[in-house]
């Protein structure tokens, strides 16, 4: 399995203000870890501890419903210097919804996230990466950026961790990569306990994607 999405070549033709497939150049070698589907009361705290241990920052694309259920944990994510992102309210099959229903999923989550970090707008990542032209156009008109990814850790596949590590070693990351991971299982933790020290040894810094202004 190739960690780089096939559609990436097409997505890179979209204006960066519409959809981001790589993080900003900040000098040096930088990776942007991102985590979908949280916050999770069992796994997210351990992940935050691991990131703090390595002075690493990341971006968490939260499901609005889960952020409501675990608001204290969501506040901890923001308080520790990580970026909050919008991953819809209930993680539905997005292309089965009307545009109005998609926007309600996004807007409802915005209200939840605003109550957590006080920010008016958060970058959006659609569930399962589903993109539709009407949604892209509508969010672009709102200046509401979509943060995609350029590198898929495949952690959700539940393949054995050594096998995933071997795949990642065969397809090395590049500076500016946005790395897709999830904080709703132990797989990301097991991977990152191996990967973060290796990345640091290669000179990579781990940073959060920028907030929307």
pLDDT beneath 70, residues of the chain? 8-9, 12-13, 15-17, 213
| pLDDT at 133 (0 to 100) | 87
Query: pTM of the full predicted structure?
Result: 0.95
| pLDDT at 213 (0 to 100) | 65
| pLDDT at 142 (0 to 100) | 92
| pLDDT at 3 (0 to 100) | 85
CB under 8 A, 24+ apart: contacts of 15-20: 15/140, 17/140, 17/143, 17/145, 18/136, 18/139, 18/140, 18/145, 18/146, 19/131, 19/136, 19/145, 19/146, 19/147, 19/148, 20/123, 20/145, 20/146, 20/147, 20/148, 20/178, 20/209
pLDDT one-digit tens code per residue, 99-111:
999 999 999 999 9
| pLDDT at 15 (0 to 100) | 67
> Following CA atoms 65, 178, 184, 196 in sequence, which dihedral angle do they give, to the nearest 10 degrees?
-140
| pLDDT at 212 (0 to 100) | 83
Catalytic residues: 36, 182
| pLDDT at 27 (0 to 100) | 73
For the chain, domains (ranges, CATH) are 27-206 (3.20.20.370)
| pLDDT at 125 (0 to 100) | 97
Instruction: Determine the 3-state secondary structure of 76 from DSSP.
Output: helix
| pLDDT at 1 (0 to 100) | 72
Residue with tokens 């999830």: 182
């Amino acid at each position: 399995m190739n960690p780089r999405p096939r559609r990436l070549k097409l997505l890179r033709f979209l204006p960066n203000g519409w959809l981001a497939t790589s993080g900003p150049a900040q000098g040096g070698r930088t990776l942007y870890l991102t985590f979908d589907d949280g916050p999770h009361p069992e796994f997210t705290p351990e992940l935050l501890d691991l990131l703090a241990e390595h002075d690493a920052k990341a971006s968490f694309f939260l499901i609005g419903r889960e952020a409501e259920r675990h608001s204290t944990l969501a506040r901890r994510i923001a308080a520790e210097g990580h970026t909050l992102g919008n991953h819809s309210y209930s993680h539905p099959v997005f292309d089965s919804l009307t545009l109005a229903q998609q926007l309600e999923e996004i807007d409802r989550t915005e209200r939840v996230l605003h109550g957590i970090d006080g920010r008016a707008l958060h970058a959006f990542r659609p569930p399962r990466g589903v993109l539709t032209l009407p949604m892209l156009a509508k969010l672009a008109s709102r200046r509401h950026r979509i943060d995609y990814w350029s590198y898929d850790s495949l952690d959700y596949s539940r393949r054995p961790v050594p096998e995933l590590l071997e795949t990642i070693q065969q397809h090395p990351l590049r500076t500016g990569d946005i790395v897709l991971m999830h904080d709703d299982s132990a797989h990301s933790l097991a991977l990152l306990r191996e990967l973060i020290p290796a990345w640091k040894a290669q000179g990579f810094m781990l940073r959060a994607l920028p907030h929307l202004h």
